[in-house]
Amino acid sequence: MALPVHLTYNVAGCDEVSCDYALLVVACDPRELADVIKDHTGHETQVNEKLVSFTIRTTLHRAKRCPGSKFAVRLNPGALDSNDYSVYGWRDEVRARKYDVGERGEAEEKGGEAFVVAYQMMEEKLVGADREVVKAKIEEKLEEGLAKSWTHFEVERREAELLTDYFPHFELDDLRDGLPWAVLDNQGQRATLYVSSFTCFESVLQCKQYGDMLWEQDQVRAVMPGDKDAPIAVIGAGPSGLLFASQQLVRKGGYTNVTVFEKEGVFGGKTRTVDLTTEEGVVVPCELGTCYLSDAYDDDLTDLSDMYESGKLEPLGGPNMRSIAETPEAVGSDEEEHGVEFQEWVKRKNGGEDWKTDLEAQAKVFAALLKYKKIHKAVMGTKYCMPLKKPERRRRLFVDDDVYEDALCLRFMDFLCKHGMAALEAPFLYTYEVQGYGDIKRIPAYYGLAWITADLAEGIIRSRLPIIGDGESVFVYDKGWLRLWEKIVERHADAMKVVLNANVLSITRD
């Protein structure tokens, strides 16, 4: 019996190879295959034309921390607002992972060795752009940004970098038209599944849970090969590709002949771990891509970590973790130089005189949180990935009827303000923007709701309010993401082969 998918590729420019497959799984940005797939459906063409994305570049620097530097992470919202590749934030991995602490368990305000990841972003796509032109613009802004006083470290040398298209998503008109749910409805056509981040949201958690959800859909079951030895092609060895290939196809499906094609020389996609060693010989995992995890990851990632013996979640930071740089809320020369501590900044944004004792200011934030949790459940349901259907009114959830439409029609900050949750601007601004997901004043509300789940929102607020503060809500993978992918690839090597430096030249489907 003839197989429906015909794929031609080469590896690092070598001879072309043509193979037939029973199923195609697209786990990369579908726009990268716009000229590769020769027989797009009308829906696939629409998706390629409608997707928008950002370009993000991170650079890892070995540096010296200036004396008096207090914080592990610094965000500059004004630089992000400029939308021109300015350095908008950085993270000192040595301090964030608590390798630089004093006798009291607190980060010391002294100079020292730092491994710094600097972040730059612009709301324009990298797919199809001249990468050399983009890199030239980015380099100019990087030099300018690292020279500014708010960075507060001296770079010795660059160790690594990651330049990638980031956060492919749909704009407001296409959300209103239900395009993400049309993607779900069209899964399985022409023996093709789509599992990359544009289907749900950029984070690893959403990609994993979308794959779990997709596996249960009737139209997906209908196109799965009956022969467990049938060849299956997966395009993209990032989190969505490796997870769907290993967890759905191999573990749940029992398939034994899965090939994952990756254009880069490494797997992991937008997760990129680089280990650096301190002068004292301590190995520090440095994340250039996906870094922060909420406690929403606990069950999923703990299960994977236990299964593959790849590490565990550990709290990120602690005292002197976060500050906001170059903000009007800064008071005095110390805050102007080092930034305003995050908790203090949230208080000032909400008008509290004394965040430690002003219960009214704290109550304002907590009341907004309670409203957010109810609205979030009404719009998004109880799953962390996208709901199976376009948001619609749910019975017995007493929220305004217009929240459902507003989630698809308003920008996130406008949505919060309209529905009485403006007090969440400050904590949500940091939580959302530091990830590289864009400006909450410009991003569609639906994507803000997708990332800031009810549990994540509660964890952020509870850990920041002095009256109820109960520990960290942000975590990292203690061994780095790369360890997980290495273990998955190693464990399933007999059933799942990863081909690196693979240039997929053409795909046709019967």
- Specify the pTM: 0.92
For residue 403, give Cα distances in angstroms to 115, 171, 373, 388.
Answer: 43, 18, 13, 18
Q: Where do the DSSP E strands lie in 211-282?
A: 232-235, 258-261, 273-277
Do 210 and 204 contact (CB within 8 A), yes or no? no
If you ran DSSP here, which 8-state letter would residue 444 be given? Answer: B
Alpha-carbon distance of 443 to 173, in angstroms, equals: 13
Alpha-carbon distance of 53 to 122, in angstroms, equals: 9
Report the 10 Å Cβ neighbour count for 469. 12
The β-bridge partners of 113 are: 64
Crossing angle between the packed helical segments 342-349 and 425-433, to the nearest 10 degrees: 140
Alpha-carbon distance of 187 to 174, in angstroms, equals: 18
Q: Which long-range contacts (CB under 8 A, 24 or more apart) does 296-304 make?
A: 296/205, 296/384, 296/453, 296/455, 296/456, 297/204, 297/205, 297/475, 300/205, 300/208, 300/209, 301/205, 301/477, 304/484
Alpha-carbon distance of 27 to 236, in angstroms, equals: 5
Going residue by residue through the chain (510 aa), what tens digit of pLDDT does each one get? Answer: 789 999 999 999 899 999 999 999 999 999 999 999 999 999 999 999 999 999 999 999 999 988 777 788 999 988 888 889 999 999 999 988 877 654 434 445 566 899 999 999 999 999 999 999 999 999 999 999 998 877 778 999 999 999 999 999 999 999 999 999 999 989 999 999 999 999 988 888 889 989 999 999 999 999 999 999 999 999 999 999 999 999 999 999 999 999 999 999 999 999 999 999 999 899 999 999 988 777 667 778 888 989 999 988 887 765 568 888 888 888 888 888 888 888 788 778 776 556 556 777 778 888 999 999 999 988 988 776 777 788 877 655 667 889 999 999 999 999 999 999 999 998 898 878 877 788 899 999 999 999 898 888 888 887 766 656 556 667 888 899 999 999 999 999 999 999 999 999 999 999
Do 123 and 85 contact (CB within 8 A), yes or no? no
Alpha-carbon distance of 497 to 9, in angstroms, equals: 15
Q: Phi and psi of 113, rounded to 5°?
A: -75, 140
Residue for token digits 């789940």?
Answer: 453
The strands making up 474-477's β-sheet, listed across from edge to edge, are 293-294, 474-477, 313-315
SS3 of 45-98: HHHHHHCEEEEEEEEEEEEEECCCCCCCEEECHHHHHHCCCCEEEEEEHHHHCC
